[in-house]
Structure 1
Amino acid sequence: MTAAHSLNQEWQNWLDQNLERRCDPVELYQIMRDNGFSRTVIKVMMGDAFPASVEEKPKPKGTVDYEALANVPLGANRPDLPLKRFETDLLQLYTLENFMTPEECETLIRLAETELKPSEVTHSNGDDRFRTSETCDFVHIREAFVDQIEEKIARTMGIRLSYSEPIQVQRYDVGQEFKAHHDFFSPDMPGIYEQYTGEMGQRTWTFMVYLNSTPQGGGTRFTEIDQTFYPKQGMAVIWNNLHPDGVPNPFTMHHGMPVEEGKKVIITKWFRENGQGPMFYAQPEEARQQGQNTASTLESPGSRRLTHTQQAKNRKQARKLKKQQRKQARARRKK
């Protein structure tokens, strides 16, 4: 039995015991929601005891369709690659081996080398060793190749490019790490939450790719389900930071573990709630068809101009965020 299944069973036992004691189902429901369980999972676990008073309310017109986000046709344009889902009800977590070729990985590493700088965090927790990697934002690198990788990720994800941040490279040398954290912005942090969600909204999916294989260490460990993925060149690790109802999922907590030998280089692309135009490639069939035409489309000058146009707003937002981060860092140093 995996740690995730064991954890689910513990909660099921707790739930059964309290229902048997005739505890208020609404109160039990709320406790489980506060501990990261989605409404869908709780409904299955509670069965007939699920309280009708917490039935899902209709979504207001114009809001994000989180259920559609949770059911995006991931990998529909790449049926040749083995998409694997980690077996747990606690979060949506996938791997996709050989997503990028060795040549693509090495090219991105080379492009990033001259732009690397110490990584930052959205807010300080007082631990100077919380994140010790180096980062390169491709927001300032106007390379057609980078645009091709952006498009490749978006099409594989099934979500259009305008609903995402520009890709970011992180490099970890021996001893460097990124301690356990979430990718979503916590609504429990007023001010910071509004600052970083801005026009683009909350982070939805994370699409991370290992650009090299690390000899030892450097794994990505999902702490709440005790699952670790080790760097393998070209492999993507993909997860939904939200529940199907749009609530941030605390079970996505993950730790970029210290590198013990060699280095680790990754790219990360975060998708967001808001963008321009439709969020999805309409149907899996459309995604597959567009994926088949990606190579020729991305090589055309017209496509490059379109990609730059789509990303212009995202680049502006990223520059604004970085400027705010630098300002906060200077303020902390003065204290």
Structure 2
Amino acid sequence: MALAEALDNQGQGKAALDWMVRAAHGGWMPAVARLGLWQLVGHITPQAPALGVGRIIQAAQANDPFGLHLAAIVDSGAIGTPRNIARSLFWLARAAQLGDGRAACQLGVLCGDRKLAHAALSAAVETGFEPALVALGDRPAIAGPTDWDAVARAADLSAFAAPVSRVVESESPRVLSIPDLLPPEICAYVMALAEPALGRSLVLTDDGTEQARSERSNRVMHFGLVDSDVILELVNLRVAQAAGMPPENAEGLGVLHYAPGERYRPHMDYIPDTPENAHQLAVMGQRVRTLLVYLNDGYEGGETLFPRLEAGFRPAPGGALIFDSVTDDGAMDPRTLHEGSPTTSGEKWVISKWFRTKALRPTAS
């Protein structure tokens, strides 16, 4: 498996696949999980979602940590398999029992029983998982749970199923706001998870490359499939339903961080229709809808401004803003030019979700 991964990093796909298949067929469960991931997404092998999910579940059933992590993601995210939240919580319980701090923290954040949640978060803190410290707050750590299945059964997902109230801020172009889309504990978890992995934001240019440019000075973390988890997949589903878009058409969840003075100057979110971007547009489709969730308060400035609409928005923590960058017939709509204005004090955190015209993830079908 180590040889396969090294060859893959060197761009020797065929040799990497041969060695990974050897490791998987030899019964090495981490390789079974990795090969399943490759088949799920079509990395150096033809995409075969059903086979990929089958291998991931096989590794999870054998209590392989990476297999458990992936199984929880594919089941909660409906990636190549029907959505099965109950089974994803089961995988989290198995992983927590094996000492996985991230799994324990997720169960603690989702748990509706305060005592069980406190114990689960305490167990996650014991592993050194930083977001658990944020979730635990000033409460002292206590002995961890012995029955992780009970913690999983006590999960309260009602916040992700609460009615969505949309407020029309602009009829044409259509701009909507949604108060209270995500609860505070989920906002705090997302920020804590993203913070250690933030990097300089890039701008997609007309020549098809992503570059660090002066017009965008903030930092960002984009969560890909392997970076995700059950809570993030529940967030993905929640924001997709709020946006009225298929969850599989969304790009990876982005978390944006603005320190004082940082900004994203006026721009459009669509992909420039240039020859260099032709392949990307053909495979992935155009970005047509944007959803932003403001995650925190305690800062000044930082509105999302639409200069051609002479309007600006700053939802309360957990609130969202939805708008399109194209018209109903798919043409670019210059009226939705917008910017992330600079904060004058404090730090601003925002979830950014871009939706495309084509599916980016394999579905159950």
Q: Same fold (TM over 0.5)?
A: yes
Q: What is the aligned counterpart of 1:82 among 165, 168, 183?
A: 165
- CA contact 1:231–1:264 (8 Å) conserved in 2: no
Structure 1 position 256, deviation (Å): 0.5
**Structure-2-length-normalised TM-score:** 0.51
CA distance in 2, matches of 1:214, 1:272: 33
CA distance in 1, matches of 2:290, 2:212: 24
Gap change, CA 1:108 and 1:246, over 3 Å in 2: same
Q: Does 1:117 align with 2:199?
A: yes
Gap change, CA 1:173 and 1:231, over 3 Å in 2: farther
Query: For residues 274-326 of structure 1, what are the alpha-carbon distances to aligned partners after superposition, in whole Å with 9 as ceiling and x for unaligned?
Result: 127xxxxxxxxxxxxxxxxxxxxxxxxxxxxxxx8549xxxxxxxxxxxxxxx
Partner of 1:145: 231
Number of aligned residue pairs: give it: 201
Q: Does 1:129 align with 2:214?
A: yes
Partner of 2:326: 242
Gap change, CA 1:88 and 1:152, over 3 Å in 2: closer
Query: For residues 221-252 of structure 1, what are the alpha-carbon distances to aligned partners after superposition, in whole Å with 9 as ceiling and x for unaligned?
Result: 01110110125211100012211111111111
Partner of 1:44: none
Gap change, CA 1:262 and 1:221, over 3 Å in 2: same
Structure 1 position 254, deviation (Å): 0.2
Query: For residues 58-94 of structure 1, what are the alpha-carbon distances to aligned partners after superposition, in whole Å with 9 as ceiling and x for unaligned?
Result: xxxxxxxxxxxxxxxxxxx9784431112342x1110
Partner of 2:104: none
Gap change, CA 1:162 and 1:253, over 3 Å in 2: same
1:322-333 correspondence to structure 2 within 5 Å: none
Letter in 1 for 2:239: I
CA distance in 1, matches of 2:298, 2:333: 29
CA distance in 1, matches of 2:333, 2:195: 34
Q: Secondary structure at the match of 1:206?
A: strand
Gap change, CA 1:112 and 1:250, over 3 Å in 2: same
Q: Secondary structure at the match of 2:189?
A: helix
Q: Secondary structure at the match of 1:86?
A: strand
- CA contact 1:212–1:231 (8 Å) conserved in 2: no
Query: For residues 171-217 of structure 1, what are the alpha-carbon distances to aligned partners after superposition, in whole Å with 9 as ceiling and x for unaligned?
Result: 00001000000001122x331x3254241110111111001124311
Letter in 1 for 2:234: Q
Letter in 1 for 2:332: P
Q: What is the aligned counterpart of 1:184 among 270, 286, 295?
A: 270
Q: What is the aligned counterpart of 1:105 among 187, 197, 203?
A: 187
Say what the alpha-carbon RMSD is for the aligned residues: 2.5
- CA contact 1:220–1:228 (8 Å) conserved in 2: yes
CA distance in 1, matches of 2:299, 2:223: 26
Q: Does 1:96 align with 2:178?
A: yes
Identity of aligned residues (%): 26
Structure 1 position 129, deviation (Å): 2.2
- CA contact 1:99–1:236 (8 Å) conserved in 2: yes
Partner of 1:273: 357
- CA contact 1:218–1:264 (8 Å) conserved in 2: yes
**Structure-1-length-normalised TM-score:** 0.56
CA distance in 2, matches of 1:267, 1:221: 16
Q: Secondary structure at the match of 2:235?
A: helix
Of the two structures, which has the highest relative contact order with CA contacts closer than 8 Å and spacing of 6 or more?
Answer: 1
Partner of 2:11: none
CA distance in 1, matches of 2:244, 2:228: 24
Gap change, CA 1:86 and 1:310, over 3 Å in 2: same
Partner of 1:259: 343
Letter in 2 for 1:175: G
Query: For residues 118-152 of structure 1, what are the alpha-carbon distances to aligned partners after superposition, in whole Å with 9 as ceiling and x for unaligned?
Result: 10001289994210011101114131111111111
Letter in 2 for 1:98: D
Gap change, CA 1:274 and 1:266, over 3 Å in 2: same
Partner of 1:51: none
Q: Secondary structure at the match of 2:167?
A: strand
Letter in 1 for 2:339: H
- CA contact 2:303–2:340 (8 Å) conserved in 1: yes
Gap change, CA 1:209 and 1:275, over 3 Å in 2: same
CA distance in 1, matches of 2:186, 2:177: 18
- CA contact 2:268–2:338 (8 Å) conserved in 1: yes
Q: Secondary structure at the match of 1:136?
A: strand
Partner of 1:204: 288
Q: Secondary structure at the match of 2:187?
A: helix
Unaligned stretches of 5+ in structure 1? 1-76, 277-307, 312-335
- CA contact 1:120–1:131 (8 Å) conserved in 2: yes
Q: What is the aligned counterpart of 1:171 among 241, 257, 270?
A: 257
Q: Secondary structure at the match of 1:95?
A: strand
Partner of 1:286: none
